Amino acid sequence: MEKINRHLMPSQEPEVRRNNFKEVALGYTDEIAYAEAQRCLNCKNPQCVQGCPVNVNIPGFISKIKEKDLDGAATILEQDNNLAAICGRVCPQERQCESLCIRGKLEGPVAIGNLERYVADYALNNITSNIKSDEFKDRKVAVIGSGPASLTCAANLAMKGVKVTVYEALHKAGGVLVYGIPEFRLPKDLVQKVIDRVTALGVDIKLNVVVGKSIYIDELLEENDAVFIGTGAGLPQFLRCEGENLAGVYSANEYLTRVNLMKAYDKSSITPVKRGKKVVVVGAGNVAMDAARTAVRLGGEVHLVYRRSRQEMPARAEEIHHAEEEGVIFDILTNPIRIFGENGNVTGMTCVKMELGEPDASGRRSPIPVEGSEFDIQADQVIVALGTSPNPIIKNSYPALKFTPKGTIEADAETGETNIKNLYAGGDAQTGAATVILAMGAGKRAAKAMLDSFTK
């Protein structure tokens, strides 16, 4: 096996990008993509495919890049993934497909995510045709929410001719892809193009409809052959400590929604967001990184406070790397215990130093407070990114549906079937906060289960 190093993704320089909201990763050129594709060994038993939650035929589409047949590559990719342009940008490849690549043991895995993005972007800009049959043209399905799980479910059904209506609570479709993930990581024009491709399949998206409030699940079940719930993760969790409701303390959801969905990064936007001078972000997942990097771009000195060490950070490797490059200061092994303020406005937080003990249930070493190590950090803005708990709207409006003790919807992990006939669920609403690709996988499997049920 010839040794060829993995080709790096061309990116905006940190000093430049920390002052703008344009996409950081610029994408492979034709030359780089072609060269990177050559690194794929086209394994007989490709492990990468097993590592992909939607089992994209990875060697298949990469072979087509080698042949410079991008139309062919796009067709193979789209067969398994309707949101490839998004996955190429936001999937944690280092823990999925790329973690199993045989090349990884030597000089770095094939850059599957970067190649996926390359092909998907080509398809978005150059190919209009979609794979579509009218096999199930007499069937109707309602999909609740328009994030990754719902869009995937809707697209997979529409590709088979099913008449799909998507109900979205916000004024814009896309769920977390539009309100959560920032422009510099996932451009909103691109998300719109992906959504346009889904609607081009015949999917009807109704905005400003809150299922459980504007319309009830009973009504949807009556009017449709099946219903899919993909309402996402729900309520932001706070620290449950003193001072968490001071003015200037945000959930990452609120902060990012103001900036992304409502465009508050633009000073002329009518929806405001505070531009903190000294910002503390709590948490170390992708959402925390998104919030921290956004706060850098809005002109703040940004500290990211995390109770474990860098090794345990749950965010994608690339996000951690980018955040650090952009000047986010990591205060690791640090846990906030109290937020304080003056006249109702936050002025800082008291933290305690932590050390790592034995591994806990999650397999990560559990942090233990160091006695007497309390100290104060000054801050005029605190952004809490500690995950979410399930949204109660569906639960309260439809008590017949079964929920787990954690409050997530109880559904079959393989098919998404719930305890109610013809009612399916998937994505974060079922699993709790997870990744875009896992949500997509659930949407895809639920669509397949629905189609199977239609032929019975």
Partner 1 sequence: MKDYEIVNKRDLASNVVEYNIYAPYISKHCLAGQFIILRVDAEGERVPFTICDYSRENGTVCILVQTIGYSTLKLSKMQIGDALHDVVGPLGNPTDLSKYESVLLVGGGIGLAVIYPQAKQLKAEGKKVDVAIGARNISLLMYVDEFKQSSDNLYLITDDGSNGKKGFVTDVIKELVDGGKKYDAVFAVGPLPMMRAVCNLTKEYNIETIVSMNSIMVDGTGMCGCCRLSVGGKTKYACIDGPEFDGHQVDWDEAIARGKVYKEEEQEHLCNLRREYGEDK
Interface residue list for partner 1 (CB under 8 A): 169-171, 179, 207-210, 213-216, 232, 234-236, 238, 240, 244-248, 250-251, 253-254, 257-258, 262-263, 269-272, 274, 343-345, 391-393
Residue (93 or 257) nearer to partner 1, CB: 257
Q: How far is the CB of 433 from partner 1 (least distance, A)?
A: 12
Residue closer to partner 1 by CB (options 197, 258) is: 258
Q: Which is nearer to partner 1, 214 or 378 (CB)?
A: 214
Q: How far is the CB of 270 from partner 1 (least distance, A)?
A: 5
Which is it for the CA torsion 436, 442, 445, 450, positive or negative? negative
CB of 87 to partner 1, least distance (A): 23
Q: Structure tokens of 451?
A: 């189609």
Residue from 439, 446, 441 nearest 174 by CA: 439
Structure tokens of 445? 């499997």
Residue closest to 175 by CA, chosen among 92, 246, 86: 86
CA angle, corner 128, sides to 175 and 181, nearest 5?
20
Retrieve residue 359's tokens. 């591994």
Q: How far is the CB of 208 from partner 1 (least distance, A)?
A: 4
Collapsed DSSP state (helix, strand, coil) of residue 436: helix
From CA 1, how far away is CA 379, in angstroms rounded? Answer: 53
Write down the least CB distance from residue 340 to partner 1, Å. 13
Nearer to partner 1, 34 or 216 (CB): 216
Running DSSP on this structure, what letter comes out for residue 67? T
| Whole-angstrom distance, CA of residue 356 vs CA of residue 370 | 10
Smaller CB distance to partner 1: residue 132 or 213? 213
Cβ proximity to partner 1: between 33 and 173 the closer is 173
Q: Cβ 155 to partner 1, closest distance in Å?
A: 24
Position 224, amino acid: N
Nearer to partner 1, 30 or 219 (CB): 219
Nearest distance from C-beta of residue 310 to partner 1, angstroms: 28
Q: Residue holding tokens 């109704």?
A: 206
Which residue number, 295 or 320, has a Cβ lying nearer to partner 1? 295
Minimum CB separation from partner 1 for residue 396, in Å?
Answer: 8
Q: How far is the CB of 99 from partner 1 (least distance, A)?
A: 32
Minimum CB distance to partner 1 smaller for 335 or for 391? 391
How far out from the chain centre does Cα 141 lie?
24
Burial class (CB in 10 A: 0-12, 13-18, 19+), 316: buried
Specify whether the CB–CB gap between 4 and 107 falls below 8 A.
yes
Asked if residues 355 and 325 have their Cβ atoms less than 8 Å apart, the reply is: no
User: Shortest Cβ distance from residue 205 to partner 1 (Å)?
Assistant: 13
Cα of first residue to Cα of last residue in the chain, in angstroms, is 49
CA distance 24 to 257: 20
Nearer to partner 1, 275 or 365 (CB): 275
Amino acid at the residue 430 = Q
Those residues whose C-beta lies under 8 Å from the C-beta of residue 21, and which sit 6 or more positions away, are 182, 183, 184, 265, 297
Contact yes or no for 444/153 (Cβ under 8 A):
yes
